[in-house]
Chain A
Amino acid sequence: MNAMSNLIEKMTRVLTELRQPGKGSSMLVGVLLATTLAMSAANLLLPADSAFYVSTYTITLMGKYLCFAMLAMAVDIIWGYCGILSLGHGAFFALGGYGMGMYLMRQIGDRGVYGNPDLPDFMVFLNWQELPWYWFGMDQFWFAVLMALAIPGLLAFVFGWLAFRSRVTGVYLSIMTQALTYALMLAFFRNEMGFGGNNGLTDFKDILGFDLQADATRVALLLVTTLLLVIAFITSRAIVQSRLGRVIVAVRDAEARARFLGYRTERYKVWLFVYSALIAAVAGMLYVPQVGIINPGEFSPLNSIEVVVWVAVGGRGTLYGAIVGALLVNYAKTRFTAIMPDGWLFALGALFVIVTVYLPQGLAGLLQRFGRSESVQAARREEDAGSDSGISTREVNA
């Protein structure tokens, strides 16, 4: 009987913990799921001339945005919560994308221009006789996915281990991450690397046997992306709300203090960095089949730093802020480049300046400023009730 009540108590506790930091973030998950489902239904079920019909282009665009949102979340986890500003997360995104791209490339089979059953077109073009060793096994979906996760993860681990162990922090670290992605970009531009050089990997035909151009596949990809984004969001929220998350914030604010309390801060940073790189890699993997191309341009430092501005706009240190920021800025980019292509870089540049100078906490910070008086009262009530559950609504935003 006692065990039973204990269990129930624990269950309720877990539930409260999950629900606690915010109607906002749970609502976001709900809205995301609802929107994508509605869009998918509208695309598949309604006739093309219906007023509510959603074009496949829009579906793909939405899928692309959600991939970016996932990437933004990855950057936010380490920047917002741990204070590590990575200007090279595009590298992990692109590596994940290349992994998926290699799988898709192998799936083309003999339908390429040169009709070679084993070699992708660009290799035939370069007069290569056989597949390089690192392309073996990439025709298996599971293996390609494994590699697309393992390689960025390993890179993040080695880089993080080297950097954090020797206590490289702040701006130095940022510049090093930028140099990392820059070096990778130069490397992938080389034809000899065997990744298609300048043009990258493209002309994909199908994924897991489904035609990539078909509406249903597009919709399925969008739904998978949404699902994985939600899973990543919930996992990340669980992490930042656990004691681990509190240690990470502690490392951000007073690393020396944490170290003198006995925490090996570098290990926390390394594992968080790896986790974040994996999320970025997953985003990249989902991105490639939807946009249909991956090339070395994805490694460019500009791309990585643009992600940072999405996070900054949405509000760093809040997971939902990163997602909202990515969606908003990318939507603005799509609209802007359609209306006045030249204006976009002006707008983006101005966004960088305005957000950092006037809105350091982003839109989420703005929301919180409006909602502050309310939350202070809520906290007071909690204090009066003498709750000692140790959960507070305000300190760890999710």
Chain B
Amino acid sequence: MSNLNQFAGQARELLRRDTTWPFLVPRQRSPDVSKQVILYLEGLNVSFDGFKALNDLNLYVNDGELRCLIGANGAGKTTLMDVITGKTRCDSGSAWFGQNIDLLAHDEAEIAQLGIGRKFQKPTVFEAHTVFHNLELSLQGSKGVWSALTASLTSIESDRIDEVLKIIGLQNARFQLAGALSHGQKQWLEIGMLLAAQPRLLLIDEPVAGMTAEEAERTAELLTSLAGKHTVIVVEHDMEFVRSIARTVTVLHQGSVLAEGTMDQVQNNPDVIEVYLGEEA
């Protein structure tokens, strides 16, 4: 009897009018941001061997916003990015890109093609390729095996690469091997690679780690200029840097959101003072 009920339940699930069968859903869609929100994260839980990396986390990010995530080590910042980009499966919760794309139903490559770019904590570029080819490989477009075999560079694409090169200031290093770049240049190149893909949402993990003050300043300018056209989420430890770019700051603590607001608001928040900025305040 219970079997029958279960079966009926499954059938009902299959015939629901408000959903589409997965194989009928077009692979590439643009997120619906009619409500001005591009990222909805609700009730996310992730645990590793009993350690709760994310604990019932809720976070909303507006379209075109520049958002900074701060928090102590182990607060769950990187895990959060892993969940958004599909690297880590969450135990429960939901993650939507716009109102129409369920991020949890896609894998890393699909999510990247949906328009979410991610920069790693440690700068990761293709060291055996030139800067130019690094950008070429990052261009938006079909990423299939066959199209890669037959691909040739169109003038639109090469213009786009030039444009990106200008933005990240590596015009002169165009034919240099990426492996020969300095640490800061690699950081920029990686950001440039994200830009070449023209993503809607950029996730940037510690962009100024290991940069000189001057380089950090230029990076801050770059990120600020990106906001508006793209939505940018930055994870950073450097408070000076965060202060220089941030409009809205979200503080994570033990896997959930502790506070959210402008830098000043956050810094005066008693909870934050207690657990995170304690010594500084």
Contact = CB atoms under 8 A, between A and B. Distances in A.
B128 A260 contact: no
B148 A249 contact: no
Contacts of A247: 137, 148
B148 A257 contact: no
A174 B272 CA distance: 50
Contact of B175 (A246, A254, A267, A383): A383
B197 A257 contact: no
B147 to A, nearest CB: 8
A243 interface: yes
Q: Which of A260, A271, A395 is packed against the most chain B CB atoms within 10 Å? A: A260
A264 B143 contact: yes
A347 interface: no
Contact of A395 (B125, B144, B162, B177): B177
Interface stretch (A284-292, A320-328, A330-338, A386-394): A386-394
Interface residues of A, number: 32
A395 B133 CA distance: 10
Interface string A125-142: 000000000000000000
A253 B148 contact: no
A390 B153 contact: yes
Contacts of B130: 392, 395
Q: Which of A246, A379, A382, A383 is packed against the most chain B CB atoms within 10 Å? A: A246
Nearest to B134: A250
Q: Which of A249, A263, A267, A379 is packed against the most chain B CB atoms within 10 Å? A: A263
B129 A246 contact: yes
A355 interface: no
A262 B175 contact: no
A164 to B, nearest CB: 12
Given A243-B149, A383-B175, A395-B133, A257 B108 contact: no
Interface string A250-282: 101110111111111101100100000000000
A244 interface: yes
Given A246-B129, A254-B126, A390-B133, A261 B149 contact: no
B96 interface: no
B37 interface: no
Contact of B85 (A258, A260, A383): A260
Contact of A261 (B127, B138, B153, B158): B138
Contacts of A246: 126, 129, 133, 136-137
Interface residues of B, number: 37
Nearest to A17: B152
B202 to A, nearest CB: 12
Nearest to A394: B177
A67 B112 CA distance: 42
Interface in A99-149: none
A261 B197 contact: yes
Nearest to A379: B175
B112 A257 contact: no
Nearest to B109: A264
A256 B177 contact: no
B112 A260 contact: yes
Interface in B23-41: none
Contacts of B158: 388, 390
A263 to B, nearest CB: 5
Contacts of A169: none
Interface string B168-193: 00000011010000000000000001
Contacts of B144: 264, 267
A239 interface: yes
A242 interface: yes
A262 B149 contact: no
B271 to A, nearest CB: 34
Q: Which of B126, B149, B150 is packed against the most chain A CB atoms within 10 Å? A: B126
A259 B149 contact: no
Contacts of B127: 253-254
Interface in B92-146: 108-110, 112-113, 117-118, 120, 124-130, 132-133, 136-138, 143-145
Contacts of B138: 261
B133 A257 contact: no
B151 interface: yes
A271 B144 CA distance: 11
B193 A256 contact: no
Nearest to B203: A260
Given A250-B129, A392-B175, A395-B130, A244 B112 contact: no
A215 B32 CA distance: 73
A388 B163 CA distance: 13
Nearest to A14: B152
A388 B153 CA distance: 11
Contacts of B113: 262
A348 B162 CA distance: 50
Contact of A242 (B118, B128, B132, B149): B149
Contacts of A392: 130, 132-133, 175
Contacts of B150: 242
A137 B216 CA distance: 70
Given A256-B124, A263-B109, A383-B175, A242 B151 contact: yes
A379 B158 CA distance: 20
B163 to A, nearest CB: 13
A99 to B, nearest CB: 26
A247 B162 CA distance: 20
A148 to B, nearest CB: 24
Contact of B109 (A244, A253, A262, A390): A262
Given A249-B129, A395-B129, 4 more contacts: A242-B150, A388-B132, A390-B133, A390-B136
22 contacts: A242-B150, A242-B151, A243-B137, A243-B148, A243-B151, A244-B151, A246-B126, A247-B137, A253-B126, A254-B125, A254-B127, A258-B126, A260-B112, A260-B117, A262-B109, A262-B143, A263-B109, A264-B109, A264-B143, A267-B145, A390-B153, A395-B133
9 residue pairs, one from A and one from B, having the closest CB atoms: A262-B112, A244-B148, A262-B113, A243-B151, A244-B149, A250-B126, A257-B124, A264-B109, A262-B143
